[in-house]
Amino acid sequence: MEKNKKEKGLDVSTEEKIKEAARVVFHKKGYAATRTRDIAEEAGINLALLNYYFRSKEKLFEIIMFETLFGFFQNMGLVLNDEKSTLQHKVERVASNYIDLIIKEPDIPIFMLSEIRNRPDVLLVKLPIRQLIMNSVFFQQHRKAVDAGKIKEPDPLHFIMNLLGLIVFPFVAGPLLKEMGNIRDEGFNQLMQDRKKMIPVWIEAMMKAR
C-alpha cells in the first residue's frame, strides 16, 4: 500500500498530517460544520494539496469516522473477549479504559453520538458491532450469570446501556455538570477517576435488582 502511494507521487507523511488535522477538526465540529479549508489550515497546507490527496470531504470523513469507531469498539472488544477475566473484572476494565480515553480525547463522545445518529447508513454497516460486542465472551458470561440466578435482568442490552451510560453521559453533560458543581476541568476529571471504582459497584447492584 505505501509503495503504491509513493509510485503515485503521494507523500505518506503528508497524508498522515492531513488525516490527523481532519481528525482534530471533525471531532470538534462534526461533518456538517467542517470545511475542507478548515482541515487544510489545521494541517498547515494549502487547499489544493489537500484536494490532491483526498478528493472530497466525505471520503476523508468516512476514513476518520471509521478509524474512530473501530478504535473505540476494538478496545472494548479486546476486553469483552478476554476468556481469563471475570464479568466483574471486565466491567472494571471497560470503565477504566474508556474514562481514560475520553479524558484524553474529550470530543469523541459528542462526535460519535452526533455522526452515528446523522449517518447510520454510511457508518454502522461497515462495522461488525454485533459480532464484536453481542457475541463476545462478556455476554456468554452474562447469560451464565442469569441462568445461575446471579443477575436478575436477563437482557444484555440493559447491561451494556447501563455501563456505557454511566461512563459516557457525564462527559456529554460535562459543561452542565461543571457549572452545577462549580468545578473546573481538573475537579471534573478527578470525579471521573473516582467513578472507575464506583461504576462496577453500581452495575453489580443494578443487575441484582428487580
Q: Do 93 and 23 fall within a single domain?
A: no
Identify whether residues 102 and 178 lie together within a single domain: yes
Distance CA 208, CA 210 (A): 7
51 plus 72 within the same structural domain = no
| 166 domain-assigned | yes
7 has pLDDT over 90: no
Query: What's 32's domain CATH number?
Result: 1.10.10.60
Could you read off the pLDDT of 37-95 as tens digits, one per residue? 999 999 999 999 999 999 889 889 888 888 887 777 777 888 888 999 999 999 999 99
Report the 3 state secondary structure along the chain: CHHHHHHCCCCHHHHHHHHHHHHHHHHHHHHHHCCHHHHHHHHCCCHHHHHHHCCCHHHHHHHHHHHHHHHHHHHHHHHHCCCCCCHHHHHHHHHHHHHHHHHHCCCHHHHHHHHHHHCHHHHHHHCCHHHHHHCCHHHHHHHHHHHCCCCCCCCHHHHHHHHHHHHHHHHHCHHHHHHHHCCCHHHHHHHHHHHHHHHHHHHHHHHHCC
93-139: per-residue pLDDT in tens?
A: 999 999 999 999 888 888 888 877 777 666 666 666 777 777 889 88
Q: Which of 13, 28, 55 is the last residue of a domain?
A: 55
Cβ neighbours, 10 Å, residue 166? 19
- pLDDT value at 166 more than 90: yes
**pLDDT at position 12, please?**
65
Asked if residue 117 and residue 94 are part of one domain, the reply reads yes
85 inside domain: yes
Residues 6+ apart with CB under 8 A from 50: 18, 36, 39, 40, 43
- What CATH number does residue 115 fall under? 1.10.357
Any residues with CB less than 8 A from the CB of 100 and at least 6 apart, and which? none
Do 8 and 37 share a structural domain? Answer: yes
Query: Is 41 a domain residue?
Result: yes
Residues 19-32 pLDDT 10s: 999 999 999 898 88
Q: How far apart are CA 51 and CA 10, in angstroms?
A: 12
pLDDT given for residue 121 in this prediction: 67
Rounded to an integer, what distance in angstroms lies between the CA atom of residue 113 and that of residue 108?
Answer: 9
Structural domain tally of the chain?
A: 2
39 with 71, same domain: the answer is no
Do both 47 and 71 map to the same domain? no
**31 and 72 assigned to the same domain:** no
- Pair 200, 102 in one domain: yes
Task: Over range 157-174, report the average pLDDT.
Answer: 91
Query: Which pLDDT value is given to residue 8?
Result: 45
Provide, rounded to the nearest whole percent, the portion of the chain with pLDDT above 70: 88
Provide mean pLDDT across the span 132-161. Answer: 87
pTM: 0.77
Question: Does residue 9 carry a pLDDT above 50?
Answer: no
pLDDT at 6: 46
Please give the pLDDT value at position 35.
Answer: 93
Whether 123 maps to a domain, the answer reads: yes
Q: Is 60 contained in some domain? A: no
Instruction: Kindly state whether residues 48 and 85 are assigned to the same domain.
Output: no
Closest CA to 22 of 2, 51, 42, 52: 42
Please provide the average confidence, as pLDDT, over all residues in the chain.
86
Q: Which of 32, 55, 78 is the last residue of a domain?
A: 55
Does residue 130 fall inside a structural domain? yes
Q: Work out whether the CA dihedral 183, 172, 157, 128 comes out positive or negative.
A: negative
Q: Are residue 48 and residue 126 in the same domain, yes or no?
A: no
Q: Which domain holds residue 37?
A: 1-55
Residue 106 and residue 102: Cα distance in Å, rounded?
5
